[in-house]
Amino acid sequence: MLAISSIEFVSVEFALFFLLFLPVYWVAARSRRAQNALLLAASLGWLAVLNIRFALVLVGVALFVAFMARRIYADRKHARIWFTLGVVGVVGHLALYKYAHLLPALGNAQWLLPLGLSYYTFQSISYMHEVYTGRIQPWAWNEVPLFLGFFPTITSGPIWRAGQAHSVLGTHAGADSQLPARFCAPRRTMQRPALALVLAVLGVVKVWWLSGWVEEQCIAQVFTLPAASDAPGVLLAVYAAAMQLYLNFSGHADLAIALGMLLGFSLPPNFAAPFWAHNIREFWGRWHISLSTWIRDYIYIPLGGSRHGFARTQFNLLAAMLLSGIWHGASGLFALWGLAHGLALVALNCGDKLTGGRERLAALGLPGRALGRFFTLSFVAFTFLVFRCATLDEMRDVLAVLASPDAWGVPTASTLAGVAALAALWLAQPLVAPIVERSACALERWPRPLWCLPLAAAALLLLVMAPSGVPGFLYANF
């Protein structure tokens, strides 16, 4: 399987494109149909620039999904059959690209994985399911490829459902109420442009500055040759790798949401201070929210959820998390990763049952929550090694240093500095959301022509502070 190229939001090329596209888009504000045509052209154009096959594959999948949705809606007697065929079709398409290279006959084939494959597969299923349940009607033929290929979300999500979604942060509007150009549909308007700009700055800070700094100072040399590092440095790198993945992924999500807001769309949130969770169940309510809620609604609940007793509930959890691991990658490491998280959730539920209630550790007050957060962060950090280590041997090399008594000694000054920086990033998590909101409110009190001043100051600070080069989207191959 060949590596994925991606649309980099943090690039001069994309910034110029968006600055030119945005005024043209809002000139057409009187017509959703015209705006949708511009969005579709921009989305397919970006895919075609990367690789024409990306655009052609997406259009093919979108036409298949649109056809199936119309058959589901028109033939209610056989709607279940049509829906099943639609799901089998899009999942089979995903499996063809992601896992067919594992077959002996195709083992040497070079598969170029289409950009956004997993995201538009999830969105396809959500669209067909909403039509199947009667919550929405089929959209126009051109609106389905726009939904699947929407350029703010195609690279890094969040997964944008056709209908409403529910998470720990509340209820989130789906595409059906925002995207179709229906008769008498209200005009789109920018969604709090000040907040969108603050989110965009935050996303760039996370992706360009913080993620790049963590990679350069805490990770790069350790994972290149772990045997040449001491145990404190390797331990720092394990935690830093998890933090970097969060900064990079959530930064791209912030940018996607900000772009959506500037285009008049409300996209669902994808992160809520996940490393501040005090158990693994809370972590999955805060991490990659659009995926975890999708797994809950389309895998866990259809398997039976918690409706058939305690033992069956635990089996459903294990199955859902195992499937989540397999979705992330064809390597057996990802299956083990999903299984490990499933077992952690089951262990937590068993502990709740034995102690007679949920969140018993958190009930002990600040010490209990602090202990829970430490163990949750540690479990997540060590299991997230699958995103840094391509093979089990690479992971063993990292863990072997930690298991060697000879590798432990007094931490170096650079390691201690890294620990301090990582602790500051961890402690800052619950403060980010209120700071973003207050900053947006402050900006909204300024005359709009003056908004460029703080934005220019932020850009200048980034140019001075950020390391050279911009990290790509780390989650792209998962």
- pLDDT value at position 338? 93
- In percent, the amount of the chain with pLDDT more than 70 equals 93
Q: Is the pLDDT of residue 429 over 60?
A: yes
Instruction: Classify residue 440 as exposed, middle or buried by CB count within 10 Å of its CB (0-12, 13-18, 19+).
Output: middle
pLDDT at 268 over 70: yes
Q: Is residue 305 part of a domain?
A: no
Residue partners of 166: CB distance under 8 A and separation at least 6: 172, 293
- Residues 38-56: tens digit of each pLDDT: 999 999 998 998 889 999 9
> Is 378 within a domain?
yes
Helix, coil or strand: residue 2 = strand
- Residue 328: active-site member: yes
Do 233 and 165 contact (CB within 8 A), yes or no? no
The verdict on 401 and 264 lying in the same domain is yes
Domain co-membership, 171 together with 197:
no
C-beta separation of 175 from 160 below 8 A: yes
Same-domain check for residues 168 and 46: yes
Residue 306 dihedral angles phi and psi, to the nearest 5° = -110, 25
* Mean pLDDT, residues 369-390: 92
Same-domain check for residues 421 and 460 = yes
Identify which of 191, 198, 251, 265 has the alpha carbon closest to the alpha carbon of residue 442. 198
Cα–Cα distance, 370 to 374 (Å, whole number) = 6
Mean pLDDT of 157-184: 92
pLDDT for the residue numbered 223: 86
Q: Is 288 inside any structural domain?
A: no
Task: Specify if 461 maps to a domain.
Answer: yes
pLDDT of residue 290: 95
Task: Specify the pLDDT at position 157.
Answer: 86
Cα 200 to Cα 188: distance, rounded to the nearest angstrom: 20
Residues 233 and 139 in one domain: no
- Identity at 393, one-letter amino acid code: D
pLDDT recorded at residue 160? 94
Q: Is residue 187 classed as helix, strand or coil in its secondary structure? A: coil
Q: pLDDT at position 4, please?
A: 44
Asked if the model's pLDDT at residue 423 lies above 60, the reply is yes
Write down how long the chain is.
478
Give the domain-ending residue among 127, 148, 177: 177
Domain limit, last residue, from 177, 204, 219: 177
For residue 11, what pLDDT is reported? Answer: 78
Same domain membership, residue 238 and residue 141:
no
Cα dihedral value 373, 374, 378, 379, nearest 10: -50
Both 398 and 431 in one domain: the answer is yes
C-beta separation of 210 from 467 below 8 A? no
Q: Out of 93, 252, 278, 328, which one is annotated catalytic?
A: 328
- Predicted pLDDT of residue 1: 44
Residues 301-337: tens digit of each pLDDT: 999 988 889 999 999 999 999 988 888 876 788 889 9
Q: How confident is the model at residue 107 (pLDDT cuts 50, 70, 90)?
A: low
Check: CB of residue 140 under 8 Å from CB of residue 65. Answer: no
Does residue 176 carry a pLDDT above 90? yes
DSSP codes, 429-461: HHHHHHHHHHHHHHHHTS-GGGTHHHHHHHHHH
Q: What is the pLDDT of residue 293?
A: 95
The answer to the question of residue 185 being in a domain is no
pLDDT of amino acid 131:
97
Same domain? 154 vs 202: no
218 has pLDDT over 60: yes
| 263 in any annotated domain | yes
Query: Same structural domain for residues 208 and 173?
Result: no
Per-residue pLDDT at 6 exceeds 60: no
| CA 248 to chain CA mean position, Å | 10
C-alpha pair distances (Å), 433 with each of 293, 387, 441? 21, 27, 12
Nearest to 243 by CA among 419, 118, 401: 419
pLDDT-wise least confident of 151-165, 241-255, 325-339, 371-385: 325-339
Residue 350 belongs to a domain: no
Domain identity same for 255 and 173: no
In the numeric block, which tokens belong to residue 168? 């720990």
In angstroms, the CA 438 to CA 195 distance is: 9
- Residue 69 · residue 138 · CB < 8 Å: yes
Cβ pair 295, 287 in contact under 8 A: no
Domain of residue 382, residue span: 193-278+361-465
How many domains, in total, are found in the chain? Answer: 2
Interacting residues of 241 by C-beta distance below 8 A, sequence separation 6+: 219, 223, 381, 384, 385, 387, 388
Please indicate, yes or no, if residue 319 is contained in any of the structural domains: no
What whole-number distance in Å separates Cα of residue 115 and Cα of residue 47?
A: 8
pTM: 0.93
Residues 91 and 29 in one domain: yes
Out of 142, 177, 212, a domain closes at: 177
Please check whether residues 144 and 88 belong to one and the same domain: yes
Minimal CA–CA distance to 67: which of 53, 78, 52, 83? 83
Count of CB atoms within 10 A of residue 366's CB?
8
Give the pLDDT score at 352. 87
What CA–CA distance (Å, rounded) separates 280 from 367? 17
d(CA 205, CA 461): 10
Residue 387: both structure tokens together: 């995103």
